[in-house]
Amino acid sequence: MTTLATTNETKLNPIFWVTMTDKFMSGWGGAANKTNKLIIACYTYQQAETIERNANKRSEMKYVNICSNKPRYGNNVKESWKTWEDMGEIWKK
């Protein structure tokens, strides 16, 4: 059983990130001439799997991955950072 202290500590430190290329947001606005990478911080592998499954259902999301190291990209990539809590219900089903 998870204790409250462990749960709060985990919530402060995501341990998985789901990364994906957002084809719709790439190449214009804040990502002009860049690739837009959506990066979602998750606190459990189950959350990461849920985000991955739902991202793969969306036609504008490509190259969906779960990683255990915090991702970093070069200057030609616009990083859009979100957390599990930021995501709507469509991402959490």
25-35 tens-digit pLDDT: 888 888 888 99
Between CA 41 and CA 14 the distance in angstroms is 6
Beta-sheet strand order (sheet of 16-22): 61-67, 16-22, 35-42, 77-83
pTM of the model: 0.83
* Range 32-43 average pLDDT: 95
